[in-house]
Amino acid sequence: MEAHPIYDALDIDLVVKVLNHTAFSPFFTCMIPIFYYFQGARWPDTILVVTLAYTIGVSAFWFLKWYSRLFRNQGSLLFGPPRFDWGDQIVVITGGSSGIGELIANTLAVRNVCVVVLDVNPIVTENYNITYYKCDVSKWEEVEATAKTIVEELGHPTVLINNAGVVQGKRILDLTPADIQQTFSVNTLAHFWTLKAFLPEMIKQNAGHIINISSVAGMVGMAQLTDYCASKAALISLHESLRYELDHQYKAKSFSFAVISALDEQHSQIIYLPFYANFVPFLAIMPSFVRDFGQWLSGCDYSMEKFVKVSGRRPEEGPAPKTNSIEEERAKDD
């Protein structure tokens, strides 16, 4: 069996998580000036002034971030949202038979949640509380019919996770009309169909949770992803517009946009993963050479050169060619 070093799991997100609980934690940093005070430092000693200013700065940052989320959710300064009861939820996940969707479906199922997976392929799982419905979410007629069946058999969904997506990985001149149609139908239009199917009852009940899973590709352009980037940019715009429509037109104050941990908090959030994705929106105001450097550093313009489309293959594309995955290679080593 091949040994794998412990630092295989080390990435920027882990480093940032550690820093958030140490160097950038208000609780941790407030101990620093206190430590120096008991070591004999007195005002206005430089070390005391600097550490106190740093503590105030860190605390102000987290307070503003917390208050911004509270304001976005029309929350109370004194009272938090009620406890989220997972046992009462019916969660619909599009594209839930593989990838991120499958992971979310099985994670929620462990919490004894009633999970509904909409996909063109069945989900392979041992969790009894996952119900699969074959549905091509890119087609309104199928979404509408499936939604009616779900309501009749299980009840009205309370959480909608729009996860379905497809990648062609081709240069713009190599994209066929069918490729482009499929990309926008799955990555963008499908969200309209599921919202039209499940949102009316959520608005009626004035409660619900909507999760739209987009991509950093929707904020920047990347080679061999022209259709994908454009479809995800449209999704980001849809997400933001939906938020304001729910807040100001439908007066639906209880809605939330999040993933599992954020659902527990019941606060509307935009979650950027991995961590560096938080800085992508600022690239638009940077000098072009800074933007190009970031593009080069990430290698995103060349990441699709050996891409092989696996999911979402149309009949005319035939089956996906067999490739040895990392897991298969490790299995051979074992």
Q: Is 331 left (phi over 0), alpha (psi -120 to 50) or beta?
A: alpha
Q: Determine how many CB atoms are found less than 10 A away from the CB of residue 266.
A: 19
DSSP letter for 273, please: S
DSSP E strands in the chain: the ranges are 90-94, 114-119, 130-134, 159-162, 208-212, 255-256
DSSP string computed for 192-211: HHHHHHHHHHHHHHT-EEEE
Does the annotation count 228 as an active-site position? Answer: yes
Q: Find the catalytic residue in 54, 128, 228, 276.
A: 228
Instruction: Name all contacts of 27-36 with Cβ < 8 Å and 24+ positions apart.
Output: 29/54, 29/55, 29/58, 29/59, 30/55, 30/59
Please report where in the chains the tokens 């072009």 appear, as a residue: 288
Pair of tokens at residue 290: 């800074």
Q: Which residues are catalytic?
A: 228
